[in-house]
Amino acid sequence: MPDLHPVGTRVMAAAFADADLRYVLPLIDVPTLLLHGEADERAPLAVAEDLHTGIRGSQLVVLPRVGHESYLEAPQRFNFEVLRFLRPM
């Protein structure tokens, strides 16, 4: 991350923010895990629920008391859920 130029990062983030790719959700045909932080202010739960609805067969896991960057805020829970998804019992 320290090697990223701030201007390039700003342009890329703006492009992502303006992109509406919901039309591709029904085309996703692979196992999909959606991890969502319950306290995410950047993308409210409704966003995750829309993704879950749009991606057939997806799994939505809501992480309690976690914000937008769940992999940093709750790395052990994040890793547990990813491993559970990759190695079902």
The CATH number for 24's domain is 3.40.50.1820
Asked if the structure places residue 78 within a domain, the reply is yes
Asked if the structure places residue 56 within a domain, the reply is yes
pLDDT at site 3 = 75
pLDDT at site 6 = 82
HEC profile for the chain?
CCCCCHHHHHHHHHHHHHCCCHHHHHHCCCCCEEEEECCCCCCCHHHHHHHHHHCCCCEEEEECCCCCCHHHHCHHHHHHHHHHHHCCC
pLDDT at site 81 = 97
pLDDT at site 18 = 82
pTM of the predicted structure, to 2 decimals: 0.79
What residue numbers bound the domain in which 19 lies? 6-86
Asked if the structure places residue 24 within a domain, the reply is yes
pLDDT at site 26 = 97
Asked if the structure places residue 1 within a domain, the reply is no
The domain tally of the chain equals 1
Mean of the per-residue pLDDT values for the chain? Answer: 92
Q: What is the pLDDT of residues 42-83, one digit of tens each?
A: 899 999 999 999 999 999 999 999 999 999 999 999 999 999
Split at pLDDT 50, 70, 90, the class of 88 is confident
